Amino acid sequence: MTTVSASGAYLEVQGLMKWFGSDRAVDDISFSLPKGQFLTLLGPSGCGKTTTLMSIAGLHGIDAGVIRVGGTVYTSKADGIFLPPEKRDIGMVFQSYAIWPHMTVKQNVAYPLEIRKVERREIDARVADVLRLVGLADMSEKLATQLSGGQQQRAALARAIVSRPRLLLFDEPLSNLDLKLREQMRVELKRIQHEVGITSVYVTHDQAEALVMSDEIIVMSKGRIQQKGGPHQIYARPINAYVSNFIGVANLLKGRVVGVTAPGRGDVEIAEGGHRVKLSCQLGEGVAMGEEAVVSVRPENVHAERVNGGGQRLEGEVLQAIFLGNYVDCRVRWGEFEWKVLAHPRDRLREGEKVYLRLDPEHTLAVQQ
Amino acid sequence: MSVQTLPGTAADAPTTSRWRSLITQESVATLIVSVLVGAAVLLPLFTLVVSSFLVLDPGGFDTAWGFDNYKTLFTDRIIPRAFVNTLLISTGSTIVATVLGVSLAWINARTNCPWRDRLEPYNLIPFFLSPFVGAIAWHNLASPKTGLLNAWARHYLGIEGYLINVNNIYGVIWVTGIFFTPLVYLFVVGSLRRMDPSLEDSARTTGAGLVRTTMTVTLPLVAPGILSGAIIVFVTSAGEFGVPFKLSAPYGWETLTTQIFSKAVGDDANHYLGATMSMALGAITAFFIYVQQRYIAPRSFTTVTGKGFRPNVIDLGRWRWVAFGYNVAFILVAVVLPILCLFIVSLHPVWTAEIIPSDMSFRNYEKTLFFWRPDAIQAATNGIFNSLILAFAGASIAMVLSLVVSHMIHRTKGFGSRVLDFLCVVPIGFPGIVLAMGVLVTYIKTPIYATLWILLLGYITRFFPYGQRNIASVMLAISEELDQSSRMAGASWLTTLRRITIPLLKPGIFAGWVLLFIIFLRELSISIILYTSGTETLSVGVYYLTNFENEPLTSALSMAQTVMLLICILIFRRVAGREALTA
């Protein structure tokens, strides 16, 4: 019963459905995750990512599907199985941290071990260990109310991992921290997770967080999975316009595939902004000859040049050039379309200047709408 | 650190079967509590409805089904009159309490009246004391012949006869009005304090003066609070038994409550007619509470934002001393004067409206409190014992129940929680005497009748919603994630309740407990219906003394009750803020 399935999947979610009234919060979601990996569920609020997490935690029932961890069925609607949350052996870090204010840091962290009736001496040793790991060794006697936000965050993490659970769940744990602390905690969280090696599922709406920490990312929208993949893959090869736009910034132009020149490569005719041009593109999954597609180009892959060096060039005018130190954030007018361009400061682009935009076919992607 | 599975966790947990997964600590507890609360609340009301259609034959032995009891409500010599008196008293005391409550709240929340922070706690004292004892005190103060104030008027002002007389319907209106003033006060003062000052400022900038702004902006914004308070006062006055029993019924002004009482006990007892009158009274009060809960209470939040504003404080100039005098006068009339008079009367062997220092002693306290003495009055000493037991046990059981019920209403969503939420409002809609009538007709043939258990049942059923609201207000302020994270840490529902939820709710639980303790210690209208010889309560003891003994003895026991309540108020103030009262 506790064997790991043949595919090497540790966490398995199959056909998960959860309705709130007539609203399908989670609409037929399936995914799996190998042991020790860090998965992020990414999407805007209301996309079903937290509902998915709560379903895994067992904090609410589900309307269809199966959830398995390490071969043990946690929830199965069809078989009427529902393991109560306390039997799931899961560590969880909540958005509000949920550090119990009537206990000290040490008491908070010791709690899961006390529940598991671990010997007092071992509890002390393990609590001290884990507090050292999260950097709260000298805070153990403090009350939760005396901690800063970042420290509460660490305490919550310590409490979640102290029992060495089978699975670690994070519900937007960094969203209440300020930007500086958030950036620091991302790296820290990843380091600690790597060190303890517990399979983790992380929920966030912050794409930067997802890119920094994850082994795998699932981009969700309206209760469905849009794309699953590694951070690099999701960023460089988004499957559709939604993912492309949600992860990072992209220039999106509607068009139609008018020619396939090589496997995975072709021409897309753009009729946007009063222009009609053919762009040479990488064709994404599900994009075929004659079909409508969206061309997606990241701002850093658009090069604004003063001279027309031939090839795939678009002539435009600099609308706006905002100097941001290590780069210049530009808007370039091309008919009615505005290109977002990242330029190098040494190019010294000025507003009102005429430029030629060079698109590298390697990084010009045609994706599904 | 490596991943290893600990004993007692998922790995060796058996696969739960379809049915067993439904039987959890939580679902079992929910079911038990729902059934208990449902039975406790609905059974008496159901029996009351059924009983109201049972007609007693003239011989007083057999019953038949019919509408005769309802006809009697209109044809009886006294009942229609009692009905009108009840409405007059409720209307009158609502007006008195609203005028006093709103003006005092405004003075305390929005003006620079001197020492207003110090005055506030005293404004609230009548809320905790027994209106029945208030009526006794005012009887001593302002009866035509034996009233202290009238005696002074005769002596110092040379007036013939009397100056004021509270032994009538106006006396009832006056005493109920001042005792329920804090209810209106509490409903209004919060809205006044938390109102966004820019709402008033913007009226001032359009050129409206202070008076105009107050009349056109401030008061309309707190109108839902005022209306809520007024409705609660109206309903509570309609269900008030002690005050009309003491001040108006003996002089020919019966009310529905005094009539229900006379049908429940005594020589012409007719429980079925009593049940019918209870139905009539309950229909009125339930209607008003429904309107208040459904339409008015939800609106009162729309005028008030949660942000902590510093409200506009109005400079009254020299008038602030008038406001101060007004507030002090209220405290004198509502608290100081009655208690002082009780104390003075209680020291005399007989009361002749004359203070005789040489006669004064604590004899009356010995006879009412010292149960070991042979001349102790049983009804009084029993009352103290029983009330302490009932208040302690009742408050404890009610708070456990409240805790579980609040948890179910606010932490588990679904049908069950909505049903419980409804069940928690129902008892508030019915006066104690009405619910007690229901409890009486339901359990009179069971072994719990004539024991303290039936009183306990009546107390808890009627008043546990107050405890429930106290806990709920704290619970809503505590994140649900605190509970959830305990479940995720491996703790069961019960362990979570014990180790996380209850410790976090401790202030709310204790405040609710003390509030219920106070309510039970002074309870009269349920006790008077359900007590029998041996199960008297403190207020029933006072009733007994005022009926069968003299005023000084009555005053002594009243004084003892008042002192006990004042001590509880001190404790309550230490553990709970003002917010805990606005249920």
Domain boundary among A241, A256, A282: A241
Q: Are residues A287 and A330 in the same domain?
A: yes
pLDDT of residue B205: 75
Please enumerate in sequence order all residues whose Cβ is within 8 A of that of B556, keeping only pairs 6 or more positions apart, or say none.
Answer: B346, B364, B365, B367, B368, B369
A-chain residues near B493 (CB < 8 A): 84, 86
Based on the fold, state whether residues A35 and A172 are members of the same structural domain: yes
A168 close to B (CB below 8 A):
no
Is residue B19 within 8 angstroms of chain A, CB to CB? yes
Note the pLDDT of residue B56: 83
Query: Same domain for A208 and A137?
Result: yes
A84 and A149 fall within a common domain: yes
- 3-class state of residue B113 by DSSP: coil
Which of A1, A86, A159 is the best residue to mutate to test the B interface, defined by the most B CB atoms within 10 Å of its own CB?
Answer: A86
Chain B residues within an 8 Å CB radius of A133: 1
* pLDDT tens digits, A211-254: 989 999 999 999 999 999 999 999 989 999 999 988 888 899 88
On whether both A255 and A184 belong to a single domain, the answer is: no
Q: How far is B488 from chain A (nearest CA, A)?
A: 5
H/E stretch holding A293:
strand A292-297
DSSP lists the bridge partners of residue A354 as A317
pLDDT at residue B582, rounded to an integer: 45
pLDDT at A163 over 70: yes
Q: Which domains does chain B have, with CATH numbers?
A: 37-47+362-583 (1.10.3720.10), 84-356 (1.10.3720.10)
Q: Read off the amino acid at residue B365.
A: Y
Domain assignment present for A4: no
Answer with the one of A241, A272, A293 that is the final residue of a domain: A241
Chain A residues with CB inside 8 Å of B18's CB?
79-81
User: What is the spatial distance between Cα A283 and Cα A293, in angstroms, rounded to a whole number?
Assistant: 9
Does residue A230 sit in the same domain as residue A300?
A: no
Distance between B496 CA and the closest CA of chain A, angstroms = 10
B485 contact partners, CB below 8 Å, separation of at least 6: A92, A94, A98, A100, A156, A159
CB B78 within 8 Å of CB B282 = no
Residue finishing a domain among A241, A264, A288: A241
- Residue A300 in this model has a pLDDT that exceeds 70: yes
**Domain assignment present for A86:** yes
CA quadruple A147, A56, A221, A293: dihedral sign: positive
- Mutate which of A104, A107, A115 to disrupt the B interface (most B C-beta within 10 Å)? A115
Q: Determine the residue of chain A that is closest to B495 in CA distance.
A: A115
Q: Is residue A97 part of a domain?
A: yes
Residues A307 and A360 in one domain: yes
- Taking an 8 Å cut-off on Cβ atoms, the answer to whether A115 and B484 are in contact is no
- Chain B residue numbers touching A84 (CB-CB < 8 A): 24, 487, 492-493
Determine, for residues B10 and A112 on separate chains, whether the beta-carbon distance falls below 8 Å: no
Are residues A155 and A130 part of one domain?
Answer: yes
Residue B58 is predicted with a pLDDT of 75
Shortest alpha-carbon distance between residue B483 and chain A (Å): 8
Tell whether A1 is covered by a domain: no
Distance (Å, whole) CA B554 – CA A167: 70
Question: How far out from the chain centre does Cα B388 lie?
Answer: 18
A188, part of any domain: yes
Provide the pLDDT for residue A273.
Answer: 67
CB nearest A80 (choices: B3, B18, B499): B18
Q: Which domain holds residue A100?
A: 9-241
Mean pLDDT for all residues in chain A: 88
- Give a yes or no: residue A140 inside a domain: yes
Which pLDDT score is estimated for B20?
A: 54
My answer on whether A164 and A308 are in the same domain is no
Rounded Cα distance, B414 and B37, in Å: 17
Q: Which amino acid is it at B218? A: T
Tell me the two tokens of residue A60: 């609410």
- Block means of pLDDT (10 residues each) for chain B, 583 residues, are 41 46 72 87 91 81 82 87 94 96 90 86 90 94 89 87 89 95 89 76 74 80 88 93 93 91 78 88 91 78 47 80 95 94 91 85 88 85 92 94 86 75 87 91 88 93 89 83 90 89 87 91 92 91 90 92 91 66 44
With tokens 């949600």, the residue in question is A246
Partner A, chain B 536-565, Cβ-Cβ below 8 Å: none
Provide the domain count of chain A: 2
Angstrom distance (rounded) from CA B446 to CA B114: 58
pLDDT at B310: 62
Residue B121: the pLDDT is: 87
Residue A67 and residue A187 share a domain: yes
- Which ranges constitute the DSSP H helices of B114-218? 116-128, 131-142, 148-156, 169-194, 197-205, 210-213
Cβ pair A166:B5 closer than 8 A? yes
3-state secondary structure of A51: helix
What integer pLDDT is reported at residue A148 of this predicted model?
Answer: 87
The domain that contains A41 carries what CATH number?
A: 3.40.50.300
For β-strands A313-323 and A354-359, DSSP reports them as: antiparallel
Residue B270 corresponds to which tokens in the numbers above?
């007719």
Nearest alpha-carbon partner for B69 in B54, B87, B50, B84: B54
* One domain, residues A222 and A250: no
Q: How far apart are CA B204 and CA A181, in angstroms?
A: 45
Q: What is the pLDDT of residue B13?
A: 42
What distance in Å separates the CA atoms of residue B377 and residue B379, rounded to the nearest whole number?
6
pLDDT at A4: 46
What is the predicted pLDDT for the residue at B26?
A: 75
Q: Is residue A2 part of a domain?
A: no
**Per-residue pLDDT at A359 exceeds 70:** yes
Please indicate, yes or no, if residue A321 is contained in any of the structural domains: yes
Cβ contact A284:A237 at 8 Å = yes
- Distance from C-alpha of B24 to C-alpha of B27, rounded to nearest angstrom: 5
CATH of the domain at A324: 2.40.50.100
Instruction: Kindly state whether residues A111 and A199 are assigned to the same domain.
Output: yes
Ranges assigned E (strand) in B31-138: 54-56, 63-65
Please tell me the predicted confidence (pLDDT) of residue A7: 55
Q: Which two tokens stand for residue B257?
A: 């409550």
Where are the extended beta strands (E) located within A63-117?
64-69, 72-76, 81-82, 90-93
CA-closest candidate to residue A297, choices A339, A334, A256, A326: A339
Q: Render B400-460 in DSSP notation, one character per residue.
A: HHHHHHHHHHHHS-SHHHHHHHHHHHGGGGS-HHHHHHHHHHHHTTSTTTTSHHHHHHHHH
Residues 6+ apart with CB under 8 A from A151: A136, A139
Contact with chain A for residue B485, Cβ under 8 A: yes
